[in-house]
Structure 1
Amino acid sequence: MNITQILKRRRFALIIGFSSFIVACSKDNSDPVPSTDLSTFVYDMPADTGASMGGSVDGKTQRPFYTITFQFSTQNKQVIRNKVDSTSLLQKGDWDIAFTKEYNSYVVTNNGTVAGTPGYGGPGKGRLVIVEKPYDQVIEAPAEDVFQRDGLAGVGWDNGNGLGWFFYSLNNHICVPIKNRTYVLKTAEGKYAKLELLNIYKGNPKVVTDLFWPSPYITFRYYVQADGSRNLKSTK
């Protein structure tokens, strides 16, 4: 075998090896949501990562967390830093949910009639109902009387009352998302949607044991029924 043939074989082996590496990387970084899912998946959305409750350390400042609003149809995120932002941005119908309070862990709908919530005084028609079913099994929104009877402005820490999206321990100060609990809501425009809140820690880890794991980086998925009906089947 001459030197030209040896070089050709080596080049071919390198091409095959590199192709295999690309395929392997593609598999490792695949979207965790199946391709048959019509939902929108938001992964590691940075909330107010500059605030801290335990002192000004690691580039963070001890102060209240800014409110983060999010619109389902455009995936537009807004940061509410002060009263000027609040006045100009919150009393509008161009956002559907807001991430508020400590570590942006309290998720609130945009409803203009609920005092004490970010959208109070605006045109928002949001409301939220907890459904004790896995996300994919929720295929229809509850009837209007259920929203009127059981509707909530938002969800946060479940302290045993069944009305939150995560458990929180005062011993280790770690948030643990509740599985198989889905949040059916009305958008600011009054359309039906479903929401799965998956994590508040960077990388969407299955288990967190480190109090200082980077947060809040919020991972969630949602599906909005554009035709206004209560049909929430989100798979093809």
Structure 2
Amino acid sequence: MILNKNKEIMDINKYIAKAALSITYVFLAFLVIGFVACDKGNDPGQDEEEIPDDTTPSDESNFYKLIRVENFQGTQDNNFESAAAAIYYSLENNKPMEAKYQQTNRWDLAFGGLLNSFVSGNNGSNSTNSGYGNTAKGGIAIIEKPFDEVTDIPVDSEFKTGGNLIGTDNYGEFGEGIGWYLYDFAGIIVRDGAYANQHVAYALDRPLTLKNGTVVPPRTVIVRTAKGNYAKIKLISLYKDQFERSEWTRSSPKVYFTFEYILAPAGSTKFEIK
């Protein structure tokens, strides 16, 4: 009788042990499934749509004519310490491009760096460029000449392919070479140092006479587009609806880029209007 009782107890213990083992396996299975699901859910690229390059021919209707862009909106943070997220413009299609197109050849001109005030072309081979890894073959150059006098297209070796290349000019403060604008921190380089004249950015699309009598020559930016065409650009202002230097003060609404440009097809040696 006792033996039978012991056998029953042993059978029950075996059953409980098997049940516990089964529950453990089920729990581990759910744990693994949950981990995999979470891992997939945390994959930032899982749901991102891969946007293809634009393989259509360039729109020839935009070649050989003057195009004006007013108030292309940049950052509104007024952060003078950290670089703003870059914004992009398609010169060939004459329209802004969303950041989701960064890794494509669908844009030609990037505005990045502090207050989006440094410009660059779209080039997929330079690791410092916003378009690194794409198929774009763009670049950028700057010439100390008025826009209307720039007729010759530079040779390809003169175009730089990095990011945030052209911005503050050496004639102003925080200059980084030949730039498209002069920054007057204290307001005493160009004007009288009054509060309203401090922290003003002067576009150099035409000659600028400084307080000390120095005349800063005008600048023209040249871009090789993502598809290998060319554009000469006159950067006019970064203040909203204000295109004359006399209007600019530290309280002027920014950042809103106004510029003009002329496109020429790949293989051209001259900029012209037809």
Once superposed, what is the RMSD of the aligned Cα atoms? 2.3
Are 2:156 and 1:157 equivalent residues in the alignment? no
1:25-36 correspondence to structure 2 within 5 Å: none
* Residue type of the alignment partner of 2:71: D
Measured in 2, the distance between the counterparts of 1:191 and 1:74 equals 12
Measured in 2, the distance between the counterparts of 1:146 and 1:63 equals 29
Out of 62, 68, 71, the residue aligned to residue 90 of structure 2 is 71
* Residue type of the alignment partner of 1:205: E
Out of 40, 63, 68, the residue aligned to residue 41 of structure 1 is 68
Are 2:128 and 1:116 equivalent residues in the alignment? yes
User: Would you say the 8 A contact 2:123–2:161 is kept in 1?
Assistant: no
Percent identical residues:
29
User: Would you say the 8 A contact 1:159–1:167 is kept in 2?
Assistant: yes
Measured in 1, the distance between the counterparts of 2:154 and 2:146 equals 15
* Residue type of the alignment partner of 1:212: S
The alignment's TM-score, normalised by the length of structure 2, stands at: 0.60
Displacement of 1:209? 4.7
Pair 1:103–1:79, CA change in 2 (3 A): farther
Measured in 1, the distance between the counterparts of 2:161 and 2:143 equals 12
Residue in structure 1 matched with residue 115 of structure 2 by the alignment: 103
1:1-236 correspondence to structure 2 within 5 Å: 38-49=65-76, 51-53=77-79, 65-80=84-99, 85=100, 89-147=101-159, 151=160, 153=162, 154-160=165-171, 162-171=177-186, 172-178=198-204, 179=206, 180-203=218-241, 204-226=243-265, 228-234=267-273, 236=274
Displacement of 1:143? 2.2
Displacement of 1:101? 2.0
Displacement of 1:64? 5.5
How many residues are paired up? 181
Pair 1:145–1:226, CA change in 2 (3 A): closer
Measured in 1, the distance between the counterparts of 2:83 and 2:221 equals 26
Which secondary structure state, in structure 2, belongs to the residue aligned with residue 141 of structure 1? coil
Measured in 1, the distance between the counterparts of 2:82 and 2:185 equals 20
Measured in 1, the distance between the counterparts of 2:156 and 2:266 equals 17
In our comparison, the structure showing a higher alpha carbon Rg is 2
Runs (4 or more) in structure 1 with deviation over 4 Å come to none
Displacement of 1:217? 0.9
Displacement of 1:207? 2.4
User: Would you say the 8 A contact 1:126–1:187 is kept in 2?
Assistant: yes
Which secondary structure state, in structure 2, belongs to the residue aligned with residue 52 of structure 1? coil
Pair 1:76–1:212, CA change in 2 (3 A): same
